[in-house]
Chain A
Amino acid sequence: MGLKGRGTIPAPFSKMRNRIGRFFYRHPGVEGFLFALPYMALWAVFLAWPVVYGIYISLFDWDPLRGSKFVGLANYLELFREPRFWNAVVNTFKFAGMTIPLILGLGFVFALMVWGWGRKRRGIVVVQASLFFPYLLNVSIVAIVWKWLLERDVGLFQHYLNSIFPSAPVFLTEPAWALPAIAVATAWWLAGYRMLVFQAGLEEIPVELFESAEIDGARPYHKLVHLILPLIKPSLLFALVLTTISAFRTFGQVLIMTEGGPGWASEVLALYLYRVGFDYFDIGKAAASGVVLLFLILVITLLGVRILGLKSELQ
């Protein structure tokens, strides 16, 4: 039917095909939109709409069984008056302040090590694989293993620490130490992935640059500060933004390792949201804290993108 070499297509279909083809040829915009449509529909229903719906719920005294009552901003006001909420906000920032430098720092040092020493050495793959592997474990495994390592008296780390330093605290039961311990576990889990990303950045630096720097008599320290850091700055900054976002939504490690305890000492915002919503069934307030958390992350991200000049990175 006018389509030589395509004899396998039955006549009616080929006719339809032609008609559709002609339509799209005349309206290329429609076609482009149609390609994006399946994804956009999913996105609208399961990502964009929940944000709107969450804001809506946060304005109600939400009770799907007995009927909800519109309360305006009362949920937010209640939230802001509650010390436990502010405690969770402060803990979230503290946790971010501890994990982000740990993850990025360890990741960077590992990348330097594996890249700098690994080039002419066999067996480097084993090292790289060992450092990366924890990233492939799920959060429950990581939290369970670290809780066990830090168990009073019988935990491996806790035991040796206490035998070397008898005054060392039992981390997970000490209000001041629970959050740092979770931060260390988190760094163990995630640093390997940053290592990979930084390593890719390092490998992109042309070898000639190092050679000419060496001819000019540069010490290793100079190479790091004047050559490596400026050149992989983009990937460092991008990793900073991603790590920050992931730090702010931390949930599983805290739930399993301490359940937010002792007391509320390690309760972070995502855990607070979960407790309020699914343990105390104060849905409106939980939705409000979700909106606050979302807003916090949005502001931090946009600030980060603005201050660090990442806009070009994202496009």
Chain B
Amino acid sequence: MKWIKRYGPYLVLYGVAFLWIIPILWMADTAFKPTRDIFSIPPKWIPSHFTTEHVERLFAEWPFARWLLNSLIVASFVTLGSLVVSVPAAFSFSRLHWKGRDAVFMFLLVFMLLPWQVNIIPLFFMMTKFKFLNTYQGVALPMIAMPIGVFLLRQFFINIPRDLEDAARIDGCSSLGVLLRVILPLSKPVLAAFSVYIFNYAWNEFFWSMICLRKPQMVTLPVGLKILQGAFEIDYGLILAGAFMASLPSLMVFLLLRRQIIRGFTLAGSGVKG
């Protein structure tokens, strides 16, 4: 009885966690076992031998490295772009006063709740007109325009004590000075959380990326995997090698920065409450 009380919770916790990552373990397992083992019945947990043939084929026959690079460029572009436009906007919506500010912000709020991907048809034709199809800026710009960042940052900026700003202004700070010297230094955790959230969002975005990027050389990882999967419906070795290699960057970054990432998502997900 005492034993159960002491170790029971551990058993449940680790049991659930293990069950939860079986799909990931199975993905890694499939990616590195010979095709014969992949289709064996019953499923073979331990491969007869370890092989990298699928991964080698992935890099030899597909522009997988290029997809990785594209994802990295798009996600960085979106993150930086968002920071550059959202920070001053959030500052303006929280600490500066101008006519119609709150009405405009309410309007933004409604749009935050609407998923912009639903607009792919008009966006597609707009981007055709701008000649932005198959370009990084084409995929990135609608994501940069997402209001979530402005919303999140505003929530935080609003709670910074007024006195700090007043003191800076008395010392001769302009609004820009207040933003750069008072607000931003105090907002490092929120800016980090925001960056983690947006980077992950852009890194994983699928619907619009698939519509906007149509050249196999230009696509990001999620779209590339879709191409891979569509080309060989049953070549599971290759497809899962692709899926595994695509999840590897996330896994490595997560193992390195677990604490920061979890804190970032917690802040982004619940910070909305203020």
Q: With a 10 A CB-CB cut-off, give which of A138, A235, A294 has the most chain B CB atoms.
A: A138
27 A-B pairs in the complex with CB atoms less than 8 angstroms apart: A28-B98, A29-B99, A32-B175, A33-B92, A35-B179, A43-B108, A43-B111, A49-B122, A50-B123, A50-B126, A50-B142, A113-B12, A117-B13, A121-B13, A128-B262, A130-B20, A132-B262, A134-B20, A136-B250, A137-B204, A137-B247, A145-B24, A148-B26, A154-B39, A156-B22, A197-B266, A197-B269
Decide if B221 is an interface residue (CB 8 Å cutoff): yes
Decide if A216 is an interface residue (CB 8 Å cutoff): no
**Interface range on chain B: under 10, 10 to 19, 20 to 34, or 35 or more?**
35 or more
Decide if B68 is an interface residue (CB 8 Å cutoff): no
List of B residues within 8 angstroms of A130 by Cβ: 17-18, 20-21
Decide if A252 is an interface residue (CB 8 Å cutoff): yes
Q: Which residue numbers of B lie inside 8 Å of A, CB to CB? A: 9-10, 12-14, 16-18, 20-24, 26-27, 30, 38-43, 84-86, 88-89, 91-93, 96-99, 101, 104, 108-111, 113-126, 128, 141-142, 144-147, 150, 174-175, 179, 200, 203-204, 206-207, 211, 221-223, 225-226, 229, 236, 239-240, 242-243, 246-247, 250-251, 254, 258, 261-262, 265-266, 269-270, 272-273
Number of A-B residue pairs, CB cutoff 8 Å, is 287
Q: Pick from B13, B104, B222: contact of A114, CB below 8 A.
A: B13
List of B residues within 8 angstroms of A270 by Cβ: 117-118, 207
Q: How many residues of A contact B (CB 8 A)?
A: 99
Whether B145 pairs with A127 at a CB distance below 8 angstroms is no
List of A residues within 8 angstroms of B91 by Cβ: 35
Q: Which residue numbers of A lie inside 8 Å of B, CB to CB? A: 21, 24, 28-33, 35-36, 38-40, 42-43, 45-51, 53-54, 56-57, 64, 110, 113-114, 117-118, 121, 123-141, 144-146, 148-149, 151, 153-154, 156, 159-160, 163, 188, 193, 196-197, 199-201, 234-235, 238, 241, 245-246, 248-249, 251-252, 255-256, 270, 273-274, 277-278, 283, 286-287, 290, 293-294, 297-298, 301, 313-314
| Bound Cα distance A201, B68 (Å) | 36
Q: Is the interface of A mostly helix, strand, loop or mixed?
A: helix
